[in-house]
């Protein structure tokens, strides 16, 4: 699905209509609950998710554009390259042991794989299962929300693979157009290619 941004924080066309329907449904379900996200506080001050470039004041949704919104830090944690690649691997190949994941996600260190798996597990996306045998067998697999995210990430990965040749050509063209008179890219140290 392609999301076109008309203005920051806004979805275009059909996606915007679907978002509004979801909001109306959530609002009717939670009328008695305390508002969360961007809702203004009782003192009229903006909530933690208000203040991004988009959205309406009083909107109870989280907003990744909101400077202090928890969804922003969640987005940043999930958007690191190792987490995305781990999600793609688990989505494509299913349950895997640590060593299988490390081989499948080329270049990831044991430390980064451990940290990324813990982050994904902490956010309820990945399940770590220890099978009681000698030696213990530990496997990782996706939970339902992890499967949803893995499908989105797989689309992004596929798009990246398909569009890499064009982006490499655009990068080369940009670099050629922005070279200093001595032939180095703008801002590159002298003598760097």
- Of 5-9, 57-61, 120-124, 129-133, least confident by mean pLDDT is 5-9
Average pLDDT (13-36) is: 49
| pLDDT band with cut points at 50, 70 and 90 for residue 100 | very high
Helices 144-177 and 81-93, axial angle in degrees (round to 10): 130
Question: In the chain, where are the structural domains located?
Answer: 69-176
Q: Which residues sit opposite 97 in a β-bridge?
A: 139
CATH 1.10.10.10 matches 69-176: yes
Instruction: Note the pLDDT of residue 16.
Output: 55
Report the half-sphere exposure of 174 (CA within 13 A, side-chain side).
7
pTM metric for this prediction: 0.64
Instruction: Note the pLDDT of residue 189.
Output: 56
Enter the DSSP assignment of 11: B
Q: Name, of 57-61, 138-142, 177-181, the range with top average pLDDT.
A: 138-142
Mean pLDDT of the residues in the chain: 78
Angle at 189 between CA 186 and CA 192, to 5 degrees: 95
Average pLDDT (30-37) is: 41
């Amino acid at each position: 699905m392609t999301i076109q941004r008309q203005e920051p924080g806004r979805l275009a066309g059909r996606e915007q209509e679907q978002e509004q329907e979801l909001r109306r449904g959530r609002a009717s379900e939670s009328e008695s609950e305390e508002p969360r996200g961007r809702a203004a506080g009782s003192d009229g001050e903006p909530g933690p998710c208000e203040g991004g470039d988009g959205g309406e004041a009083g909107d109870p949704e989280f907003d990744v554009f909101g400077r202090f919104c928890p969804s922003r830090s969640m987005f940043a944690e999930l958007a690191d390259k190792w987490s995305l690649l781990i999600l793609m691997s688990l989505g494509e190949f299913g349950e895997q042991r640590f060593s299988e994941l490390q081989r499948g996600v080329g270049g990831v260190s044991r430390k980064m794989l451990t940290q990324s798996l813990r982050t994904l597990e902490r956010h309820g996306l990945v399940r770590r299962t220890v099978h009681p045998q000698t030696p213990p067998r530990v496997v990782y697999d996706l939970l339902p929300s992890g499967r949803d995210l893995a499908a989105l990430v797989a689309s992004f990965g596929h798009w990246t693979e398909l569009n890499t040749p064009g982006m490499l050509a655009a990068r080369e063209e940009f670099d050629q157009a922005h070279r200093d008179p001595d032939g180095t890219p703008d801002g590159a140290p002298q003598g760097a290619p």
